[in-house]
Chain A
Amino acid sequence: MSEAVNYPSAVELESVSVRYRVPRERVSGFKEYAIRWIQGRIEYIDFWALKDVSLSVAPGEIFGLMGPNGAGKTTLLKTVARVLEPTEGRVRVRGRMAPLLELGAGFHPELTGRENVFLYGTLLGHTRREMAAMFDEIVDYAGLGAFIDSPLRVYSTGMASRLAFAVATCQRADVLLIDEALAVGDAAFQEKCSERLESFRSEGSAILFVSHYADAVRRLCKRAAWLARGEIRQVGSADGVVDAYLSTEAGEAPAQDAQIPDNASLPVARAEIRK
């Protein structure tokens, strides 16, 4: 795509820091809060989930993000997804973004699949008209057939997650955020997911991909970053980063998690249905 040439990078983080500020104790009532406020006794715990993180992802690139639990990977994705704001630094994202982080968040079990397509689609920022135009294709892709007019509570987990994935990827996004190596539906559908994501990438989508799986990062990504305690420990070629990560974190990381099936390609976030 020519667009890919026009844009130097699709995602760009410059010295991004994110601070969570929460009260030391949960002050539960007004009265207590007022008293403490007057006394100047409201203490906050500042927790820097990201510290001075800089990285950029080019169009058409799959960028891997590795790190132990609590390293700030999710915070980083959420900052790119605009859910969180950088306390310091600057985040720039060019084009439409599809966060495949919490697939199906916002689904309502009492509504039909059809109604949920519109609800979830607009939650992700689409207009009703866009959803109407893409509706048939979504249902077809998710393979739901007549179930589309049944309430979501009768769906199997696989069906619901297929629908969520179909809605979340109904339009090619310029930036895809993918968290964790968990599957949507059965092997056949996973294959379809991978194909779709790969075709997005070849058309110029940048993919920011978080994984514990060293093999997956090595296979899919050219470049990667290793995040630890909110800071970037290393950024560079995927092989180099994975090697460094494994040699250092081997003690802490649970058995490298490196054993995943060979046929796994682009993993897809787990669908989550709120009942």
Chain B
Amino acid sequence: MPGLAGSPPADHALYDSSQRRTPFVEELLTVYQYRDLVLQLIARTVKTRYKRSVLGVAWTMINPLLTMLVLTLVFSTIFKFDTGNYALFVLSGLLIWNFFAQSTTAAMGDLIWSGGLVGRIYLPKSAFSVAAIGTALVNLGFALLPYALIALALGVRPAWTWLLLPLPALMIALLALGVGLGLSAAAVYFPDVMPTYEVLLMAWMYLTPVIYPLRVLPAGVQLLLKFNPVFYPLTVFRALLVDGVLPSAADVAIGLLAGLAALVMGWWVFTRRSREMAYRV
């Protein structure tokens, strides 16, 4: 450009529609640039979810506890699974499963319901999915406090392996983000995706050893369940936080790889479509 004397201040960026990067890369850069927005979206969801309720954020902790109570009463009296401590077994399963189920659903819903915004303001559209997963991480953090208290109350000795919690959290976060992005891209085009996914989630939960131990199943079915990517974060989480032992390296590796693969695929599907979303949401 002629006469462009003196470089403009850093924030005086030049937008040139003919010089955009591939969507895959551009979305990454933009969502990083808008990281404060992601944090604000997380804060908004956490603050408003229980805003008018008396117990407020405490519900994040109470909710899985009550579910655990019900399931423990039902299953430990009926099925008598040999899991050592069934209450902790089911609570740990629920924490990971709820993380996955709620964050993927929220990723999809937030993009659709905030849809107005996407068509009005320029912003990285993946921010909604990233914020949904961030919210789930915050909720997991909240839920860990009562989890630890219950574990201690049930006579479980705290183990140093508890400190490795970020590992399964990372595994489930990668997986959920990938799945969430793919789902939200699909949901923009097909409104049926959302109700279909709700039903699918229910089936998926029973195909994940959340409320029963894997070994009660026949060997063939056990093998089949290992194709379920949620299995790995769940297994690693339980090894670290229920049994206090190190998980098998294979489980960790497969879980991380599956999460990464899901994220790359989800990101690719999402960004391939994200430019059309402004007028399709």
Q: Which residues of A contact B (CB under 8 A)?
A: 2-3, 5-8, 20-22, 27-30, 33, 78-79, 81-86, 89-97, 99, 101-102, 105-106, 108, 110-111, 115, 118-119, 122-129, 174, 274
Contact = CB atoms under 8 A, between A and B. Distances in A.
A105 B279 contact: no
Nearest to A20: B279
A96 B11 contact: yes
Interface in B10-39: 11-18, 20, 33-34, 36-37, 39
Contact of A93 (B15, B116, B117): B15
B35 to A, nearest CB: 9
Q: By CB atoms of chain B within 10 A, which of A3, A82, A123, A127 has the most?
A: A123
Given A8-B1, A20-B279, A102-B120, A111 B15 contact: no
A115 B37 contact: no
Contact of A110 (B3, B13, B51): B51
B261 interface: no
A79 B122 CA distance: 10
A6 B17 contact: no
Contact of A128 (B12, B39, B114, B123): B39
Contacts of A129: 36
Nearest to B45: A108
Contacts, number: 126
A240 B47 CA distance: 54
A115 B47 contact: yes
A81 B122 contact: yes
A124 B17 contact: no
A21 B279 CA distance: 9
Contacts of A119: 40-41, 43-44
Contacts of A33: 190
Interface of B: 1-6, 8, 11-18, 20, 33-34, 36-37, 39-41, 43-44, 47-48, 51-52, 114, 116-117, 119-123, 190-193, 196, 275-276, 278-280
B122 A82 contact: yes
Given A5-B3, A6-B3, A94-B8, 11 more contacts: A7-B4, A29-B190, A89-B17, A93-B14, A95-B14, A99-B121, A101-B120, A110-B51, A115-B43, A122-B34, A274-B116
Contacts of A110: 47-48, 51-52
Q: By CB atoms of chain A within 10 A, which of B12, B16, B43, B120 has the most?
A: B120
Contacts of A105: 116-117, 120-121
Given A85-B275, A92-B17, A102 B12 contact: no
Given A6-B6, A111-B48, A125-B34, A102 B17 contact: no
Contacts of A124: 121
A92 B279 contact: no
Contacts of A5: 3
Contact of B36 (A21, A86, A127, A174): A127
Nearest to B7: A6
Contacts of B192: 28-30
A101 B16 CA distance: 21
Q: Which 5 A-B pairs have the closest CB atoms?
A: A82-B122, A122-B37, A91-B17, A102-B120, A93-B15
A153 to B, nearest CB: 10
Nearest to A11: B15
A128 to B, nearest CB: 4
17 contacts: A3-B8, A5-B3, A8-B2, A8-B3, A29-B190, A30-B193, A78-B120, A93-B14, A102-B120, A105-B120, A106-B121, A110-B51, A111-B44, A115-B43, A119-B41, A122-B36, A122-B39
A83 B15 contact: no
A6 B4 contact: yes
A6 B41 CA distance: 38
A85 B17 CA distance: 7
A29 B3 CA distance: 55
A6 B7 CA distance: 9
Given A83-B120, A110-B51, A115 B190 contact: no
B34 A83 contact: no
Nearest to B275: A85
Q: By CB atoms of chain B within 10 A, which of A106, A126, A127, A128 has the most?
A: A106
A44 to B, nearest CB: 11
Contact of A92 (B16, B36, B39, B191): B16
B121 A123 contact: yes
Contacts of B36: 122, 126-129
A79 B47 CA distance: 34
A22 B280 contact: yes
Contact of A86 (B3, B17, B40, B276): B17
Given A110-B52, A115-B44, A123-B37, A90 B278 contact: no
A186 B33 CA distance: 36
A217 B161 CA distance: 69
A123 B39 CA distance: 11
